[in-house]
């Protein structure tokens, strides 16, 4: 449980790579802009959101420097195009503290989503629209007052977007936004959204994935290990499994996020309702 000494350098390199991509996007035809937004930018921006997830656990500078972690998360947010980091941290604490808690864990789909997106075509649409549901769901399920850090996040992001537009025009801004929307939607990496907590086997609500996509997603696939030890940085999660294989190797696990998406769409037993949901008094009392 110590900071990841390489996280800040990895994230900085990714942010700079997206700025270079913005410069290159100026001369691209629109069809190629969206192609590269999906194929390259989508991977980078999705990975940056997972870096923000890691940073939300204070793994960049340690628990003794929470302010540095929060501001660095806002820096990592810049290529995403929309303010995300501060709000994510505010709600992600509840996901760990009240996993599946009705009205508290906004990772759990709403009743409306479960009823509407229940056929293969509709579930496919739901996966494509994941960025919108993850943005709007907290406002409906568990609205919280805006914090000063969220306001700073929004202002910094707006200033960054305006600067990119002033320097290089509209296409780079569209490239960044398309990278986020496409990369967080119907994309192979997005399989982790479904793989982590949807009940593919009755009685098992959290699953790990140990495949190669962990290399570009800050080991988010090591999800059982992460929920057991949220303060361990993502770079050390494989070591947790190596130290204690008797606690993890026998558990159900996923081997392909693409297969997860396929099964989710075409298996009638799976859908937004395939989650463990708990009733919490805190959800009613809003304490």
Average pLDDT over residues 251-274: 96
In a domain, 285, yes or no: no
d(CA 276, CA 106): 13
Average pLDDT over residues 131-142: 93
Average pLDDT over residues 110-128: 96
Average pLDDT over residues 111-139: 95
* Residue 128 CB partners (closer than 8 Å, separation 6+): 185, 186
In a domain, 283, yes or no: no
Domain encompassing residue 237: 6-266
pLDDT of 74 strictly over 90: yes
Average pLDDT over residues 123-147: 94
- Which pLDDT score, from 0 to 100, does residue 233 have? 97
- Which pLDDT score, from 0 to 100, does residue 282 have? 67
Q: Across all residues in the chain, what is the average pLDDT?
A: 95
Phi and psi at 53, nearest 5°, equal: -60, -45
* Residue 145 CB partners (closer than 8 Å, separation 6+): none
In a domain, 276, yes or no: no
In a domain, 32, yes or no: yes
The strand ranges marked E within the chain are: 208-209, 253-254
In a domain, 177, yes or no: yes
Classify strands 208-209 and 253-254 as parallel, antiparallel or unpaired: parallel
Using the 8-state DSSP alphabet, how is residue 211 labeled?
A: S
Average pLDDT over residues 51-75: 96
pLDDT of 137 strictly over 50: yes
Average pLDDT over residues 252-268: 97
* Residue 92 CB partners (closer than 8 Å, separation 6+): 53, 56
* pLDDT above 90 coverage of the chain, percent: 94
- Which pLDDT score, from 0 to 100, does residue 281 have? 73
d(CA 152, CA 58): 19
- Which pLDDT score, from 0 to 100, does residue 203 have? 87
Average pLDDT over residues 164-180: 97
- Which pLDDT score, from 0 to 100, does residue 287 have? 43
Count of domains observed in the chain: 1
Average pLDDT over residues 37-54: 98
- Which pLDDT score, from 0 to 100, does residue 205 have? 93
Question: How far is the CA of 67 from the CAs of 38, 51, 60, 62, 82, in angstroms?
Answer: 33, 16, 11, 10, 21
In a domain, 273, yes or no: no
Average pLDDT over residues 174-194: 97
Name residue, tokens 């558990």. Answer: 251
* pLDDT above 70 coverage of the chain, percent: 98
In a domain, 108, yes or no: yes
Where is pLDDT greater, at 277 or 52?
52
In a domain, 286, yes or no: no
d(CA 85, CA 52): 6
């Amino acid at each position: 449980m110590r900071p990841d000494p390489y996280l800040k350098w990895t994230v900085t390199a990714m942010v700079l790579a997206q700025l270079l991509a913005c410069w290159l996007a100026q001369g691209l035809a629109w069809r190629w802009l969206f192609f590269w937004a999906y194929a390259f930018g989508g991977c980078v921006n999705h990975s940056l959101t997972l870096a923000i997830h890691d940073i939300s656990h204070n793994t960049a500078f340690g628990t003794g420097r929470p302010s540095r972690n929060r501001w660095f998360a806002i820096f990592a947010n810049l290529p995403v195009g929309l303010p995300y980091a501060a709000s994510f941290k505010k709600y992600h604490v509840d996901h760990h503290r009240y996993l599946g808690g009705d009205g508290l864990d906004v990772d759990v789909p709403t009743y409306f989503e479960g009823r509407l997106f229940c056929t293969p075509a509709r579930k496919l649409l739901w996966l494509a629209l994941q960025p919108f549901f993850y943005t709007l769901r907290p406002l409906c399920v568990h609205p919280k007052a805006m914090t000063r850090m969220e306001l700073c996040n929004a202002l910094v992001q707006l200033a960054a977007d305006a600067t990119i537009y002033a320097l290089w025009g509209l296409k780079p801004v569209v490239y960044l936004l398309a990278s986020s929307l496409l990369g967080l939607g119907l994309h192979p990496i997005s399989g982790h959204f479904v793989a982590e907590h949807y009940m593919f086997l009755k009685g098992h609500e959290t699953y790990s994935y140990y495949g190669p996509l962990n290399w570009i997603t800050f080991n988010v696939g090591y999800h059982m290990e992460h929920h057991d030890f949220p303060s361990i940085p993502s770079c050390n999660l494989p070591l947790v499994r190596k130290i204690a294989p008797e606690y993890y190797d026998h558990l159900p696990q996923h081997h392909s996020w693409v297969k997860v998406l396929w099964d989710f769409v075409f298996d009638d037993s799976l859908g937004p309702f395939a989650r463990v949901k708990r009733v919490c008094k805190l959800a009613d009392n809003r304490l």
